[in-house]
Chain A
Amino acid sequence: MKEFASKLFNKLDQRIIRYVLPSLISIVILSIPLINSPQKNLWVRIIGYAGLYIILGLGLLVHVGLAGMFDLGFAAFYAIGAYTYAFLASPHFNIHLPFLLVLVLAGSFAAIVGLLICIPVLKLRGDYLGIVTLGFGEIVRMLLMNLTNITNGSQGIFKLDKPSILVMTFTSGTFFYYFIFILVALLLFLLNRVINSRTGRAWLAMREDEDVAQMSGINTSKYKLLAFALGAFIGGMGGAIFASWQGSIFPDNFNMNVSINILCVIILGGLGNQFGVILGAMALIALPDILRGFSDYRMIIFGLLLIIMMILQPQGFLPRKAPELENKVLKQGKKKKEVQS
């Protein structure tokens, strides 16, 4: 199976995958709200929601795929971001800060919590870390549920402010849709650059072999903290966007199923590949909503999918594309492709 997939990708011209395919996908995504159809709002909502999961998936990818820190409680950061929005932009405490500011604050607050969580668990490995993060996720949810004075508990918080940037207020789903996908594009662009830099290579080395990374001079504690904060920041931003779009939030919006959903998204897309997150989000979020009849079977299919994916292809279907650095500069002039071993 693995050989077939890699042969397939090698056969297709690299350029098609690199440029044509993403352009096509982008055009499709950008034009969905422009269709003139009675179903338009439904599509906008579904694909937009998938877009939100791309953002969340990217955040989790930074934790799992880059820092190698297995995080089963990512919904906690999603929740923190959402509730930050609810506190700072609603009648709840009667604070109404501007949208972009709250977005940054939501991300920052989630990042701070991320750092606090990360410090005690720096030395934990693999599956133990997964259980601890699961515990944190559940604790956050239970606190949101039970600190009713602050969070309204299971009643939730309502009438969250509609966002506005400059003079434009988000009056319909279409605004959120475009905002989400612009953010997705920005995140993909920035993440790609960070991954192909000193920081990114430190992360990848750490993920590959933590001891050797340390002895090669990488301060793994610092980079783990950095990754955790970054991932949490992205998750927090996602939460704020979700809150502002949905208009109201409840603790149950952030339960363990959500953490599992986000995990499925990144596993399906390959654990090192940020573009795979798009595939994962579309497949796991958009598809079931489109195939309405199957929504009851969604979770059981997720479960089976996780098992099958691990058995067949633990790296996901889109392994990370290794950058071509040696030949990059040589492209001007003769290309010395002969390998001297």
Chain B
Amino acid sequence: MQKLIEQLINGMTVGSFYALIALGYTMVYGVLSMINFAHGDIFMVGAYFGCFTITQLSASGFTQAHPILAIIFTFLAGALGSALTGITVERLAYRPLRKASRLATLISAIGTSIFLQEFVRLIPKFGSSIASIHFGEKNLFPESWSTAITNVTKTFGGAMVKTYPGVLGTAGIKLGEIAISYSRILILAIAIVFMVLLYLLVRLTKIGKAMRAVSEDKDTASLMGINVNRIISNTFFIGSALAGIAGVMMGLFYLQIRPTMGFTPGIKAFTAAVVGGIGNIPGAMLGGYILGLAEVISIQFLPAVYKDIVAFTILIVMLIFKPTGILGGSGGKNKL
């Protein structure tokens, strides 16, 4: 019994990650009818921004002095980093293809995904190349700048795994026999808070209404005076920010990040969005938790290495038999 509850808590934790990332997928699919294949990498970028922030803050002693503030800044950095990446990607790689076939957009998204992964991996190289730009004998940048650029880029990215300082600690509360760490509570709390905020935003605010209008019918929405491009940018901003928050959470919880960390959670979050009904916001949340729990339960019956296969199999089965998901979405039957 105790083990069951512990596993349930595990599942809810994992599910929180999937749910937050899935929201971004579902929102973008809602307004653009496209699968943002690079969304998982936007999640990864957030983790890196967060890692950089918390590492610098810890190095300067800030974290020790003001731990809560430090964590908040880290989340902000991750969210902002992801959000800015998201709207840049939309502007450069997706907007020009608005009228093109959906296949073209998917290919562009794949290209973006590769680009983001490689960019983060190669940043130190770019940094040192830029720092050493020279005209003949003279360097472009003064010594201090060069070193700064090289160091910043080296700290930010690279092929090697990066580690988050263990700020969350392992302390927790005890409910009877069951130990729940503070970090798990934090993750669940953050996830739920943001999901509720998003739901309220979409249902009650003017922007939310505009987003819903754009997902119904882009062209009519623009005829009604809605600035469709701006709404789409906003959607990407919010969706990517949520993914960035998930990325920071992942870093704080699992401590290790790498440039390729976005692929598997990305696919799983997409599965979650499909399970809940792609295009459906509560569906993404529901799907995330269902997937998290399913994964954790499957470890009881299968060797742990097959965990990822479970997610892929659920994805394939859902897309084949119930593409509209549990709560109903667009279902991928739209004509190209």
Contact = CB atoms under 8 A, between A and B. Distances in A.
B267 A311 contact: no
A138 interface: yes
A310 B100 contact: yes
A146 B309 CA distance: 11
A183 interface: no
Interface stretch (B57-65, B111-119, B145-153): B111-119
A134 B333 CA distance: 19
Nearest to A120: B320
Given A127-B103, A132-B316, A307 B336 contact: no
B303 A302 contact: no
A79 to B, nearest CB: 15
B333 to A, nearest CB: 7
A300 B315 contact: no
Contact of B316 (A136, A300, A306, A314): A136
A142 B309 contact: yes
Given A70-B103, A267-B107, A306-B107, A311 B319 contact: no
B319 A131 contact: yes
B189 interface: no
Instruction: Kindly state the interface size class of chain B when it binds its partner.
Output: 35 or more
Instruction: Kindly state the interface size class of chain A when it binds its partner.
Output: 35 or more
Interface string A243-282: 0000000000000100010010001000000000000000
A128 B113 CA distance: 17
A135 interface: yes
A304 interface: yes
A19 interface: no
* Most-contacted residue by chain B among A70, A132, A307 (CB, 10 A): A307
A115 interface: no
A311 B97 CA distance: 6
A126 B330 CA distance: 14
Contacts of A121: 319-320
Given A126-B106, A267-B107, A310 B97 contact: yes
A84 to B, nearest CB: 21
Contact of A132 (B101, B103, B112, B319): B319
Given A125-B333, A131-B319, A300 B107 contact: no
A136 B34 CA distance: 21
Given A299-B118, A300-B115, A304-B115, A311 B102 contact: no
Interface in A271-319: 296-297, 299-300, 302-307, 309-311, 314
A314 B110 CA distance: 14
A135 B97 CA distance: 25
A70 B117 CA distance: 23
Contacts of A310: 97, 100, 104-105, 107-108, 111
A338 B116 CA distance: 54
B35 interface: yes
A146 B114 contact: no
Contacts of A130: 103, 106
B312 interface: yes
A302 B97 contact: no
B103 A131 contact: no
A126 B335 CA distance: 9
B176 interface: no
B320 A70 contact: no
Contacts of B309: 139, 142-143
A136 B263 CA distance: 15
Nearest to A302: B114
A139 B336 CA distance: 27
* Most-contacted residue by chain A among B102, B111, B323 (CB, 10 A): B111
Contacts of A124: 319-320, 323, 332
B267 A314 contact: no
B270 interface: yes
Interface in B1-38: 34-35
A146 B305 contact: yes
A300 B118 contact: yes
B202 interface: no
B273 to A, nearest CB: 11
Given A299-B114, A310-B97, A127 B34 contact: yes
Interface string B78-115: 00000000000000110011001111111110111111
A135 B312 contact: yes
B143 interface: no
B111 A131 contact: no
B306 interface: yes
Contacts of B312: 135-136, 138-139
Nearest to B336: A126
A131 B308 contact: no
B313 interface: yes
Contact of A128 (B108, B115, B332): B332
Given A125-B332, A142-B306, A70 B106 contact: yes
A134 B316 CA distance: 10
22 contacts: A121-B319, A125-B334, A125-B335, A126-B101, A126-B106, A128-B323, A131-B267, A135-B316, A138-B308, A146-B306, A263-B110, A296-B122, A299-B118, A300-B115, A300-B122, A302-B111, A302-B114, A305-B111, A309-B107, A310-B97, A310-B108, A314-B101
Interface of B: 34-35, 92-93, 96-97, 100-108, 110-119, 122, 125, 263, 267, 270, 303, 305-306, 308-309, 312-313, 315-316, 319-320, 323, 332-336
- Ordered nearest first, which 9 A-B pairs have the shortest CB separation? A306-B111, A303-B114, A303-B115, A300-B118, A128-B332, A307-B111, A135-B312, A310-B108, A314-B104
Given A120-B316, A303-B113, 15 more contacts: A70-B103, A125-B332, A125-B333, A125-B335, A126-B101, A130-B103, A135-B267, A135-B316, A139-B312, A142-B309, A143-B309, A300-B115, A302-B114, A303-B116, A311-B96
